[in-house]
């Protein structure tokens, strides 16, 4: 096992910068998730760590070894792709054993490693099947098994759940979390799905436009976002933002200095008397989810936002209501810089 160190890592295609200048430390055994919108550079960064993309600047070290010029097969990493990348004419066993065979690993050791990985992933009964006879979830487990048998220092996952349906995504996500708990190996995982990031990660790296916006644990990013992008990207539904024009007088009084936006998460907003309201609005649409509901509201100026609630009785009749939140749940931002104001 090994940690990773990235210093001033950059990537350009001709004059187009994809990764600006990344500094990142990943501890041995840590589960780190790169998350961000499409095109933010997260998969490119992962591929540079794997050695599948050359870096344009900086250094990447795995353990104590700088690997800038080390071939992918010699880096001690194993990558799991979203497309599975299985050989259709080979059995599951042969797919899992292929890399070891190419590395001239002794036959009895190949047998031991493949059987052990199959047992961990509960796919022993699938070893003689071909990929076409497997479900999407089973194919993904085989792809993960192929990585396990290499006994890498670092596992790399590039959006491994994106081709699975909703139920299989949840199931496979849990299996990956259990795998990390069992193996204790460093894992780096790329996704655009903040739910995957929040549930899997020890540490999340939020990327946008080739830059790191914020690094922290899931709870740190949720409770202490450093800018408006992170505040809206982490958390579902996303954080509501209100300008002075959209707030009641009590809410307007809270905007001081450089702060011109008040951020409140939907789950923190509660109905209150008009005199205590930070914002007044009219319920427009209700999405009932069973355990809770999402109430879509509109301010007088037509700005829409969401309240997450377990008590719909206070949102009936389309009447104007007052909404507030406790002071420790209010976040203040500057809309020009997009940065948090504390």
Q: Which residues contact 154 (CB under 8 A, 6 or more apart)?
A: 1, 2, 4, 49, 62, 75, 76, 77, 78, 185, 186, 187, 188
pLDDT in tens, 111-143: 999 999 999 999 999 999 999 999 988 999 999
Check: CB of residue 280 under 8 Å from CB of residue 323: yes
pLDDT at position 144: 94
Helix (H) or strand (E) holding 35: strand 31-35
**Alpha-carbon span 46 to 303, nearest angstrom:** 39
CATH fold of 4-233, please? Rossmann fold (3.40.50)
Q: What are phi and psi of 86, to 5 degrees?
A: -95, 150
- What pLDDT score was predicted for residue 82? 86
pLDDT at residue number 83: 86
Q: How far is CA 290 from CA 171, 236, 267, 293, in A?
A: 21, 16, 15, 7
The sign of the torsion formed by the CA atoms of 196, 198, 203, 204 equals: positive
Q: How far, in Å, CA of 286 to CA of 289, rounded?
A: 9
Would you state the torsion angle of the CA atoms of residues 66, 68, 72, 77, taken in this order, to the nearest 10 degrees? Answer: 40
Residue 262 vs residues 119, 228, 239, 298, 330: alpha-carbon distances, Å? 51, 10, 10, 16, 7
> What is d(CA 267, CA 160) in angstroms, rounded to the nearest whole number?
30
Q: What is the pLDDT of residue 321?
A: 95
pLDDT in tens, 25-62: 999 999 999 999 999 999 999 999 999 999 999 999 99
| Architecture of the structural domain at 240-341 | Beta Barrel (2.40)
Q: What sign for the dihedral angle of Cα 88, 90, 95, 100?
A: negative
**Other beta carbons within 10 Å of 290:** 5
3-class secondary-structure state, position 198: helix
Task: Write the CA distances from 2 to 179, 215, 273, integer angstroms.
Answer: 17, 20, 56
d(CA 151, CA 153): 7
Question: pTM of the entire structure?
Answer: 0.92
261 phi and psi, to 5 degrees?
Answer: -135, 135
- Domains of the chain, residue spans: 4-233, 240-341
**Which of 200, 203, 245, 196 lies closest to 221, judged by CA?**
203
Q: Which regions of the chain are under pLDDT 70?
A: none
């Amino acid at each position: 096992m090994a940690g990773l160190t990235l210093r001033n890592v950059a990537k350009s295609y001709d004059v187009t910068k994809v990764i600006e200048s990344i500094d990142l430390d990943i501890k041995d055994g840590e589960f780190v998730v790169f998350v961000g919108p499409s095109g933010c550079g997260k998969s490119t960064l992962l591929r540079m760590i794997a050695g599948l993309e050359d870096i344009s600047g900086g250094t990447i070290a795995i353990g104590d070894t700088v690997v800038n010029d080390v071939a992918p097969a010699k880096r001690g990493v194993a990558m799991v792709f979203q497309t599975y990348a299985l050989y259709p004419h080979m059995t599951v066993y042969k797919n899992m054993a292929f890399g070891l065979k190419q590395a001239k690993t002794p036959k009895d050791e190949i047998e031991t490693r493949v059987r052990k990985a199959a047992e961990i992933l509960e796919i022993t009964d699938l070893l003689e099947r071909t990929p076409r006879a497997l479900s999407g979830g089973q194919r993904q487990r085989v792809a993960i098994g192929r990585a396990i048998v290499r006994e890498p220092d670092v596992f790399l996952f590039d959006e491994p759940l994106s081709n699975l349906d909703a139920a299989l995504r949840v199931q496979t996500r849990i299996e990956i979390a259990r795998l990390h708990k069992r193996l204790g190996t460093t894992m780096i995982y790329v996704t655009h799905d903040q739910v995957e990031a929040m549930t899997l990660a020890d540490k999340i790296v939020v990327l946008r436009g080739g830059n790191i916006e914020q690094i922290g644990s899931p709870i740190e990013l949720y409770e202490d976002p450093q800018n408006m992008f992170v505040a809206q990207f982490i958390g579902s539904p996303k954080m509501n933002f209100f300008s002075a024009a959209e707030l009641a007088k009590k809410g307007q009084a809270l905007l001081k200095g450089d702060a011109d936006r008040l951020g409140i998460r939907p789950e923190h907003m509660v109905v209150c008397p008009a005199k205590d309201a930070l914002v007044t609005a009219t319920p427009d649409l209700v999405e009932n989810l069973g355990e809770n509901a999402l109430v879509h509201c509109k301010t007088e100026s037509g700005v829409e936002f969401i309240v997450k609630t377990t008590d719909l009785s206070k949102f009936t009749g389309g009447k104007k209501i007052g909404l507030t939140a406790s002071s420790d749940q209010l976040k203040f931002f500057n809309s020009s810089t997009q940065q948090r104001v504390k």
